[in-house]
Amino acid sequence: MKQKHIYRLIFFFVMAFALGSLAGKIYSHFTSDPRSDPNSAKNSQTSSASMTFQNENWGLGFQEEGKRPTGNASIEELKKYNAWYAADTDEKKIYLTFDAGYDNGNMPAILNALHKHQVHATFFVVGTLIREKPELIREIVDAGHTIGNHTMTHPDMSGISTKEAFQKQLEDVEVLYKEATGKEMTKFYRPPQGIYSVENLEMAKEMGYHTFFWSLAYVDWYQDNQPSKEEAFEKLLGRIHPGAIVLLHSTSSTNASILDELLTKWEEMGYTFGTLEELVASGSA
Kindly list the catalytic residues.
99, 249
Q: How far apart are the C-alpha atoms of 244 and 268, rounded to whole Å?
A: 16
Q: Exposed/middle/buried for 16, CB within 10 Å: 0-12, 13-18, 19+?
A: exposed
Q: How far apart are the C-alpha atoms of 62 and 120, rounded to whole Å?
A: 27
The CB-based long-range contact list for 143-147 (8 Å cut-off, 24+ gap) reads: 143/111, 143/114, 143/115, 144/120, 145/111, 145/114, 145/120, 145/121, 146/120, 146/121, 146/122, 146/186, 146/188, 146/275, 146/276, 146/277, 147/122, 147/123, 147/177, 147/181, 147/185, 147/186
Q: How far apart are the C-alpha atoms of 245 and 39, rounded to whole Å?
A: 12
Work out whether strand 93-100 and strand 272-274 pair parallel, antiparallel, or are unpaired. Answer: parallel
